[in-house]
C-alpha cells in the first residue's frame, strides 16, 4: 500500500566537484549550472513514480535549490528545508539531520565528502548518491532523472527499502596525541600521510601516502581503495574492511599500479594488506603527518598513535537499477486503462 504522503529530500552541495584536483589532476569540473540541471531532473524523475510528492531541498547560496523549486513540475510541492546556511559542510550535516525524520528517501548530489556528511546524520533514510564531486568512490554517475524515479518509488512505498538498499560501512579514526584525543570518520577510506600540513587538502603524491584503512576495496575505485582492491577486494556491502601499509616501491615486497585520483595513476609499494572485521582496529604511528578522509587531508598530527577501525553503521545506499526493476515488477511504472464499454 502506498503512503498518503510521499516525502523526498534533495541535497546538492555547491562546493562539490570544484576543488584543487581540477587543476592538479584530471577530474572534470561540475559547476553549479550543471547541478541546477541535475536537481531539476531529479524532480522531474519523481513524477514517473508518483503524481503527488513533497520535496525538501537543502538551501544554498548558489541558486541550486531556488532553481529546482521554481522549475518543479506539476504535482511536486518543493520547498527549502528549515536550515540556516553557513556555506560549509555543516549545511549538509544539518540538512541531513532534518531529513532523518522528515523524508522517506533522499537524493544527494556530491562526492564522497558530501555523502559522508549526509551519512553522519541521516540515520536509516535510503540515500540515492549521485556523483557530482571529486572523489567518487561511493556515489555513482547515475542520471538525475533516474535517481528521482528511484527516490519516488521508495518514498511512495511502491518498493521496499529492504529489497534494494545495502548498508555501506565507514571507517573511524581515534588519534592519541600529547594534546588529547582527536577523532575523524570517513566513508570509504582513512589515509595516513607523511606530509605534515593540510595545504590544498588533496592527497595526490604517492610518496606521501603511508597507508590506512578502507571500508571497501576494488580496482574500479580510486585512491587507497583501489590499491587495496588490487590485492584484497571488498564489495561495498561486504563485511569489515582492509588495512594497507605502504612503502617505497623499491623496498616493498610487491607493488600495485592504481588510480590515486582522476587523471593520476601511480606505482605504489605495498608492505602489507590485512583484512579487518567490524570493530577490529589497525594502529599507525604518526610522528609527523596528516590523516585524510576520502582523499582529503583533515587532521594534522605530531607524535600521535592512530587507531583506524571499520564500522558497519554507514549510509543506507540505494541500488538505482534494482529499484527500477522492483518498481516494474510491482506494476508501479505502468497503469491499465479501463476498457470502454460498447454501446
Asked if 51 and 119 sit in the same domain, the reply is yes
- Is 235 a domain residue? yes
> Between the CA of residue 51 and those of 80, 111, 326, what are the distances in Å?
20, 30, 19
What's the average model confidence in pLDDT over 200-206?
59
Per-residue pLDDT, 21: 47
Q: Does residue 295 or residue 325 have the better pLDDT?
A: 325
**Cα–Cα dist 271/212, whole Å:** 12
Give the 3-state secondary structure of 200-226: CCECCCCCCEEEEEECCECCCCCCHHH
pTM score of the predicted model:
0.88
β-partners of residue 192 are: 211, 291
Does the pLDDT at position 31 exceed 90? no
- Is 85 a domain residue? yes
Place of cell 486503462: 337
- For the chain, the straight-line distance linking the first and the last C-alpha, in angstroms and rounded, comes to 35
Q: Give SS3 for 252.
A: coil
Could you please report the per-residue DSSP string of 293-320? ETTEEEEEEEEEEEEEEEES---EEE-H
Does the pLDDT at position 4 exceed 60? no
Q: Could you tell me which of 252, 250, 236, 257 has the C-alpha nearest to residue 189?
A: 236
Asked if 149 and 215 sit in the same domain, the reply is no
Per-residue pLDDT, 29: 56
Asked if 31 and 79 sit in the same domain, the reply is yes
Does the pLDDT at position 277 exceed 90? yes
**Cα–Cα dist 14/88, whole Å:** 10
* CATH number assigned to the domain comprising residue 199: 2.60.200
Asked if 89 and 28 sit in the same domain, the reply is yes
Q: Could you read off the pLDDT of 62-96 as tens digits, one per residue?
A: 999 999 999 999 999 999 998 888 988 899 999 99
Q: Could you tell me which of 96, 106, 169 has the C-alpha nearest to residue 138?
A: 169
Q: Give SS3 for 247.
A: strand
- Is 343 a domain residue? no
Per-residue pLDDT, 338: 65
For the chain, give the mean pLDDT: 89
Asked if 62 and 163 sit in the same domain, the reply is yes
Q: Does residue 237 or residue 318 have the better pLDDT?
A: 318
Asked if 33 and 58 sit in the same domain, the reply is yes
Q: Give SS3 for 120.
A: coil
**Cα–Cα dist 9/232, whole Å:** 36
Per-residue pLDDT, 194: 86
Q: Could you read off the pLDDT of 131-182 as tens digits, one per residue?
A: 986 657 899 899 999 999 999 999 999 999 999 999 999 999 999 999 899 9
What does DSSP say about strands 316-318 and 165-167: parallel, antiparallel, or unpaired? antiparallel
- 8 A C-beta contact, residue 159 and residue 326: yes
**Cα–Cα dist 318/32, whole Å:** 24
Overall number of domains in the chain:
2
* CATH number assigned to the domain comprising residue 54: 3.40.50
| Structural domain containing residue 143 | 7-167+315-329
Per-residue pLDDT, 32: 84
Place of cell 531539476: 40
What's the average model confidence in pLDDT over 225-236?
94
- Is 91 a domain residue? yes
Does the pLDDT at position 199 exceed 80? no
At a CB cut-off of 8 Å and minimum separation 6, what does 101 contact?
none
Q: Is residue 139 within a helix (H) or strand (E), and if so which, with residue range? A: none
At a CB cut-off of 8 Å and minimum separation 6, what does 312 contact?
167, 169, 239, 278
Which has the minimum average pLDDT: 29-33, 120-124, 166-170, 286-290? 29-33
Q: Please report which confidence band the pLDDT of residue 23 belongs to, taking 50, 70 and 90 as the band edges.
A: very low
Asked if 74 and 198 sit in the same domain, the reply is no
**Cα–Cα dist 215/310, whole Å:** 6
Per-residue pLDDT, 237: 87
Does the pLDDT at position 305 exceed 80? yes
What sign does the CA torsion over 230, 236, 240, 245 have?
A: positive
Asked if 191 and 148 sit in the same domain, the reply is no
**Cα–Cα dist 152/160, whole Å:** 12
- Is 340 a domain residue? no
Q: Does residue 341 or residue 210 have the better pLDDT?
A: 210
Does the pLDDT at position 46 exceed 80? yes
Place of cell 549526509: 118
- Is 236 a domain residue? yes
Per-residue pLDDT, 322: 98
Q: Could you read off the pLDDT of 91-112 as tens digits, one per residue?
A: 999 999 999 999 999 999 999 9
Does the pLDDT at position 27 exceed 80? no
Tell me the percentage of the chain whose pLDDT exceeds 70. 89
Per-residue pLDDT, 264: 87
Asked if 103 and 22 sit in the same domain, the reply is yes
Asked if 73 and 131 sit in the same domain, the reply is yes
Per-residue pLDDT, 24: 47
Does the pLDDT at position 312 exceed 60? yes
- Is 2 a domain residue? no
The per-residue b/e assignment along 30-39, b for 16 or more CB within 10 angstroms, e otherwise, is bebebbbebb
Which has the minimum average pLDDT: 8-12, 22-26, 171-175, 294-298? 22-26
Per-residue pLDDT, 260: 87
Tell me the percentage of the chain whose pLDDT exceeds 90. 73
Residues in the chain: 343
- Is 337 a domain residue? no
Asked if 132 and 195 sit in the same domain, the reply is no
Asked if 98 and 195 sit in the same domain, the reply is no
Amino acid at each position: 500500500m502506498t503512503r498518503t504522503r510521499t516525502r523526498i529530500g534533495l541535497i546538492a552541495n555547491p562546493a562539490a566537484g570544484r576543488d584543487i584536483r581540477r587543476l592538479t589532476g584530471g577530474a572534470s569540473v561540475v559547476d553549479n549550472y550543471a547541478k541546477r540541471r541535475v536537481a531539476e531532473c531529479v524532480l522531474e524523475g519523481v513524477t514517473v513514480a508518483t503524481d503527488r510528492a513533497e520535496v525538501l531541498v537543502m538551501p544554498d547560496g548558489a541558486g541550486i535549490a531556488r532553481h529546482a523549486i521554481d522549475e518543479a513540475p506539476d504535482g511536486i510541492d518543493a520547498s527549502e528545508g528549515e536550515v540556516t546556511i553557513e556555506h560549509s559542510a555543516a549545511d549538509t550535516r544539518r540538512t541531513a539531520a532534518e531529513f532523518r525524520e522528515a523524508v522517506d528517501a533522499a537524493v544527494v548530489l556530491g562526492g564522497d565528502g558530501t555523502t559522508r556528511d549526509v551519512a553522519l546524520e541521516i540515520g536509516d533514510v535510503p540515500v540515492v548518491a549521485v556523483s557530482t564531486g571529486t572523489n567518487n568512490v561511493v556515489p555513482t554517475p547515475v542520471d538525475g532523472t533516474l535517481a528521482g524515479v528511484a527516490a519516488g518509488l521508495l518514498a511512495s512505498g511502491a518498493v521496499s527499502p529492504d529489497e534494494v538498499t545495502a548498508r555501506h560501512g565507514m571507517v573511524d579514526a581515534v588519534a592519541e596525541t600529547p594534546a588529547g584525543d582527536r577523532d575523524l570518520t570517513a566513508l570509504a577510506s582513512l589515509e595516513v600521510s607523511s606530509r605534515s600540513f593540510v595545504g590544498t587538502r588533496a592527497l595526490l603524491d604517492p610518496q606521501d601516502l603511508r597507508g590506512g584503512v578502507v571500508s571497501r576495496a576494488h580496482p574500479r575505485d580510486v585512491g587507497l581503495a583501489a590499491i587495496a582492491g588490487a590485492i584484497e577486494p571488498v564489495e561495498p556491502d561486504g563485511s569489515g574492511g582492509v588495512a594497507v601499509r605502504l612503502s617505497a616501491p623499491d623496498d616493498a615486497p610487491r607493488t600495485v599500479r592504481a588510480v590515486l585520483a582522476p587523471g593520476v595513476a601511480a606505482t605504489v609499494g605495498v608492505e602489507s594488506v590485512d583484512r579487518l572485521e567490524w570493530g577490529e582496529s589497525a594502529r599507525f604511528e604518526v610522528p609527523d603527518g596528516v590523516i585524510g578522509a576520502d582523499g582529503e587531508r583533515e587532521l594534522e598530527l605530531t607524535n600521535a598513535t592512530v587507531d583506524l577501525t571499520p564500522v558497519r553503521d554507514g549510509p543506507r545506499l540505494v541500488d538505482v537499477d534494482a529499484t527500477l526493476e522492483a518498481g516494474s515488477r510491482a506494476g508501479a511504472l505502468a497503469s491499465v486503462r479501463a476498457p470502454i464499454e460498447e454501446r
